[in-house]
Every structure is written in C-alpha cells, then in structure tokens.
Structure 1
C-alpha cells in the first residue's frame, strides 16, 4: 500500500521517517522544490536535525505523486488544509485522506474531517491525533495515537497501514471527539503556558488543566462527541502532554504571553487560531467557556494577563 505524506514540516517528516523505517512504501511531498532537493542531497530535514531520512523514503515536490497514493496523510496547519485540498482535489478523489492537524477552520468553524468531506466528497476522511511530538516519533520512541474514521472498515485498514513497532494506533469512529480533543487542548496549553510565564505556580496550572478539560468536554459533547474519547489519547493524553512540556509550541507561546516577551512569528501556533474559532462557537451555541474565551482575548491582545487572571478569579463560586 502506497502512502504519501503531504507536508514536509517536522511532524509530517517524522511520520514519514517512522513509516519508512518500518518498511512501508512512503513518499514525503513538500511544496518547496529547492528545499526538497536539499533534503534529498543531505538526507536530513533542518526542522529535525540529527534525524537522518531513511534511504527508502522517497522525497518530491511534485504533487502528481498524490494521484498514485492509496493513503494520503495531510500534515499541514489546519488553517491551510482547505486551500490545499481545493488545489489538489482532482488527485485526491476516492482516496483515504488522513488529517494530521489539530484545529478548527476559522472561516467555517469545521474540523478537518468535515473540511475534507466538503472539498473532496468522494474521499474517505480520517484524522490522526494524540499525545506526540515530532522529535519523539522521528527518534523511534514509543508513541500511541488515535486514528478516527467514520467508516470502521477503512479505519481498520488505516490502523494496520500506519502502525509500526514504535507507533501504536488505537481506532475509533468518533471523529468529532478526536478533532475537538486535539484542537482544544492547544487552547488550554496556551493558558497553562501563560500561567507558567507569569509565575503563578504549579497549582494554578493544574487548576487550568482540570477546568480546561471540563470546557473541552462540554463543547465536544454538545457537538456530538463520545465522552469516552475525551478521556483517551486524543483528549486527556494530548492535554497532559501539551500543557506540561516546552516541546509544545502552544505552551511556549503562552509562556511568552505570560512573560510579556516576543515569540517567533514564523512558528505555527494552532491554538491561537483555534481559540478565536472556539470563541465564536461558544457564542453561537450559548456555552460558557471562560478559559477558552480569555485565551482568545489574550491572543487578540484585547486584555492583559492581569485582567485575564482577575476575570477568571472573580467568577461566581459554583459546584464542580
């Protein structure tokens, strides 16, 4: 079975390395021809230093390779997914398309699988998510993820095709739960980073993780997710990892906000876009999501960290 990883960033490259090292037939597709030529010559991606690309991993900048693949992993930011699908829909028809991004489209307020289904109606959409860092996957360190596909038969095929001796996939049909667990944990990670950057202490971070998890579950259940999904890898597992490690871009972004320090604008922070989308969803669905709302306001520079803290601490006391 031929696999194409569309997106040569750190995560896409890490997945390609892991799959190729396990003997899968894999092609890594990037947009920049010069960059792909350089990677072919050096057998290394600058975004994953010291992680050599397996000899059997094919590299290309030609999107024609999409037409020949059985499975396409879409490893790109959530906000770029729709335009990519629209540009290459003719080559993606009828295929299993697996989103490897975590976010909500700011324009449509849709998750990745709905975006895939709208752009390529004949494709079978799926999403791969869970607690993982690109560096760990590329190093071959043990990692467990969730593959969600509404067609369970296709889900079983994907589970087998994308699992390796060090990358273990669990299967579900609950795409909504997996999407929202993966997207919203980035928002909560920003909040936890702000807490760390502002030196509010570990107790405050634990409180934000716990109450943040409640907000994730509240929105996800309203949108039809299975509550059990939010307690699994794509929910609790990803939340725990992202809110506690500086390998997380969203957590580091929050730390920068908490310290009133600059942050590299070239680094993709999915949680910032997701927070704005969630703020709209919360308004439309009339759901009270105070942490997500405060994060959206911080990302928009509408309030200061002190004002955010005062807002959360002055809320009426309530039952848990």
Structure 2
C-alpha cells in the first residue's frame, strides 16, 4: 500500500485474456492498474471502448484500469504482474527494467520455459535484472500458478490459485495482493516446482487433446493425466522441487483443468491434431497463444539435459516438430516395455 487508505498502483504487463482478467481482479480491489499492450492501436481501442474486444470480449474494463503501450507506465507501481507469453517474455521484461522502482515486487503469471536458455520466467527476470546492473533495484520475484481460465476469472467465478517466492514473507505479500472472496490464493516457497507445473501441464494437455481427438475415451485421458503428472514430478524433483507441489494447485489442479476444460487452448491444439489437422494450420487460425507448443521443444531439451525420461513429452514433440502421426505416437507409447508404476 502506498499510503493509508490508498491501495496504490500495480501494473499488468500483457493485455491478452489472462493479463486483462488479472487486471480486473486487482482493479476490483481498488488498485490503479496500468495495463500494458505492445499494440498502440489496441490500447486506443481499449481506452475508447473500455473493453478488450480482441482477447476478452464482453467484460467492461473498470475505470481504474489504464491501458498504455509505454513501458514507463510501471513507474510509481509497487508491484508488476508479467502476463506475457514465454516466447516474448524476455524482450518485454528487458524494456520495463529501466523504469522499475527500487524494491518492486514482480510476479510472473506466464507458463512456459524459454527455448534458448531453458530458464523459467523467474530465471529470465533474475538474469535480466543482473544484466541491467541496477543494484539498487533489489526486486522481489514470484510466480502465480494454478487452475485459472481467464474467462472464468473475469466472470468472477470462484477460483483458487497459488503463489510462490523464495522467501515466505514475499509469497505472503503476493498472496494478499491478489486475494479476494472469489479469487482464493495460497502461498508457498517452491518457486521452481510451481513454475514447472504450470509450464509442463500444457504439453500433457496437448497429448490429452490428441487422445480425445482420436476418440480414445475417458480411460485414455485419465491415464495420460496420471502418467503425465508422473513425468512432470520426475523432472521437477530432479531440479529441486518439492514432490508435494505436484499434488497441489500448480500441479494436479492446473493439469486436470487444462487437460479436460473446453477453454483450454492446448487441449484444443491436441484435439485438432487428433482429428487430422497439421500444426501449421492449427496455429494459423488461432488468435491466442497455446504455450505448450513452444514449451514442448524447451522442455524436451531440459529433460534431456537433466537425464529424465519423459515418454509422453517425447511423443508430443515428435508429433509437433517431426510430423509423426498421432496414431503412431500412441502406438509407440503403449508399446514401451512394462514397468513398475511408482518406480
């Protein structure tokens, strides 16, 4: 809080559906919310129409949401929410760093792994902050994850998410920043676990969509979700995450939502693949980003670097990047040697 009785300013960077929904959560709490978009024309439209018709139509922007395209809009903000897709995250964050206030709290609401560096988004932020050589910043970093479709959040439907930071006190700050009666927020310190859960579930959702698109039924989908969670957990634990994180909102919760919900863009990609469309055709007709497509490539490289076996991930990669047929991918997945389930 900036002053007694004044909730202050919190910037949201990224005016897609998710960033706009989070801006609404914060605005309803009374914060002034600069909402950054990289497209000046969209900023003009949102300011004029008081609605993000491109990404979240039907939900009026509250008067304390202030669209803008200048990265300097983060000045005077006590906190910054990064809601930019992972493939553009670094470039956008680099632009706002010169304008950050010392001591800013910065939370990533993106779900992905950077392709070149194989870093999570907090890793990208930490690296860029170090490169900026502004030791006075001392920014506090965190991540927001969990089962949360943007449209349902915008509608005010009950939602539970989780935030994490390296320090419990910082995590609790982020918890209070977002917490409302309809947007329940849990807090923890397993930063890497929550980020990996949020990123990797999108890949399993593509696999679940492929299964549904092929008509394989609910047995197959349940098996994919369960074995997908096992793969995510193996990689997470190898990278220092707490195993229980993957039984929580950032793990099982987000995985189930993304693999089963009709609003899931990644499941939709899988459905269309299973029905015979090519990935290029699918992406060409999508306005919004399906993070799992790019994350599949970086996650595969990360799994190989860490020496972790992830067979579902491997088959999704081959379908997306080497044009393997979906039926062949399923056949090869099922033909693997029998193993102990918990081994």
Q: Same fold (TM over 0.5)?
A: yes
In the alignment, does 2:122 pair up with 1:113?
yes
In structure 1, the partner of 2:135 is none
Q: Which secondary structure does the structure 1 equivalent of 2:58 belong to?
A: coil
Moved more, 102-111 or 273-282: 273-282
- Residues 232-281 of structure 1: CA distance to partner in whole angstroms, max 9, x if unpaired? 10000000100001200000000011011241434311111111111112
Q: Which secondary structure does the structure 1 equivalent of 2:59 belong to?
A: coil
Distance in 1, Cα, partners of 2:322 & 2:51: 38
In the alignment, does 2:49 pair up with 1:30?
no
In structure 2, the partner of 1:101 is 110
After TM superposition, the score normalised by the length of structure 2 is 0.90
Per the TM alignment, residue 123 of structure 1 is displaced from its structure 2 partner at its CA by: 2.1
Q: Alignment partner for residue 274 of structure 1, among 295, 301, 317?
A: 295
8 A contact 2:72–2:96 mirrored in 1: no
In structure 1, the partner of 2:20 is 13
- Residues 140-164 of structure 1: CA distance to partner in whole angstroms, max 9, x if unpaired? 1111111111122222112112212
Per the TM alignment, residue 23 of structure 1 is displaced from its structure 2 partner at its CA by: 1.7
Q: Which secondary structure does the structure 2 equivalent of 1:127 belong to?
A: strand
In the alignment, does 2:54 pair up with 1:71?
no
Q: Which secondary structure does the structure 1 equivalent of 2:143 belong to?
A: strand
Q: Which secondary structure does the structure 2 equivalent of 1:155 belong to?
A: helix
Moved more, 150-159 or 68-77: 150-159
In the alignment, does 2:128 pair up with 1:145?
no
Gaps of 5+ in 2: 1-7, 131-137
Per the TM alignment, residue 128 of structure 1 is displaced from its structure 2 partner at its CA by: 0.6
Structure 1 runs of 4+ off > 6 angstroms? Answer: none
Distance in 2, Cα, partners of 1:88 & 1:52: 27
8 A contact 2:77–2:101 mirrored in 1: no
Per the TM alignment, residue 93 of structure 1 is displaced from its structure 2 partner at its CA by: 5.6
Distance in 2, Cα, partners of 1:176 & 1:212: 18
In the alignment, does 2:234 pair up with 1:218?
yes
In structure 2, the partner of 1:87 is 95
Q: Which secondary structure does the structure 1 equivalent of 2:289 belong to?
A: coil
Per the TM alignment, residue 118 of structure 1 is displaced from its structure 2 partner at its CA by: 0.6
Q: Which secondary structure does the structure 2 equivalent of 1:24 belong to?
A: coil
8 A contact 2:25–2:178 mirrored in 1: no
Per the TM alignment, residue 124 of structure 1 is displaced from its structure 2 partner at its CA by: 1.7
Mapping of residues 134-213 of structure 1, within 5 Å: 134-213=150-229
Q: Which secondary structure does the structure 2 equivalent of 1:220 belong to?
A: helix
Mapping of residues 243-262 of structure 1, within 5 Å: 243-261=259-277, 262=281
Distance in 2, Cα, partners of 1:93 & 1:294: 44
Distance in 2, Cα, partners of 1:87 & 1:299: 31
Distance change >3 Å, CA 220–CA 209, structure 1 → 2: same
Q: Which secondary structure does the structure 2 equivalent of 1:145 belong to?
A: strand
Q: Alignment partner for residue 41 of structure 1, among 48, 53, 57?
A: 48
In structure 1, the partner of 2:134 is none
Q: CA RMSD in A?
A: 1.3
8 A contact 1:85–1:120 mirrored in 2: no
Distance in 2, Cα, partners of 1:26 & 1:165: 20
Per the TM alignment, residue 294 of structure 1 is displaced from its structure 2 partner at its CA by: 0.6
In the alignment, does 2:316 pair up with 1:316?
no
